[in-house]
Amino acid sequence: MASWRELEAFLFASGGSHTEDAIARHLGTTAIEVRVLLEELQQKLEGHGLALSWHDGDVSLTTAPDLGAFLADRLPASPGEVSAAALETLALIAYRQPVTRAEVDEVRGVRSERTVQTLLELGLIEMVGRAQGIGRAPLYGTTAEFLRRFNLSSLADLPELAQAEPEEEAL
């Protein structure tokens, strides 16, 4: 039988997200036992600097969400940091997916080729299909890495968009 300490060490050393079944295979145990160990580990981590995060059925060991701002002020930007333009593009894709690059360009008012390519390289978006019609443009959507990076369990966790106030008609 595996222990919560072995589970913690595995999640820390692997640095990635895993399903309960995959963890069970790595630890030589069952998915049911892994679920019990995850619950135990989650209790042990309460009040600590680490936490368990679930994203699309995968679990990973992450920094406690309440310490994000603290660390952001004290650690240098990582090579995977995204620019304001990339964040804007990513937000459009997240809320409107599946969406074509041309649709993103229309909303942003600028070409987004390079920004979309960067988001693809970072694994934050992926091609999820092709649009109907002439040219069959690629359709983009977000990935599990997007959910993990922004500490979301699913797209349902995205904040509600504020409704724009209707502009008053000119007199």
pLDDT score of 48: 94
- The mean per-residue pLDDT over the stretch 14-29 comes to 91
Closest CA to 32 of 40, 44, 24: 24
Amino acid at 62: T
d(CA 132, CA 138): 10
128 pLDDT tier (thresholds 50, 70, 90): very high
77 pLDDT tier (thresholds 50, 70, 90): low
pLDDT tens column, 92-104: 999 999 999 999 9
- Radius of gyration in angstroms for the set of CA atoms belonging to the chain, rounded to a whole number: 20
Give all domains of the chain, ordered by start, each with its CATH number.
4-69 (1.10.10.10), 84-157 (1.10.10.10)
Q: Return mean pLDDT, the chain.
A: 87
pLDDT score of 34: 94
- Please say if the pLDDT value at position 169 is more than 70: no
Residues contacting residue 37 through CB under 8 Å, at least 6 positions apart: 2, 3, 4, 7
Task: Let me know the angle formed at the C-alpha of 168 by 167 and 170, rounded to the nearest 5 degrees.
Answer: 120
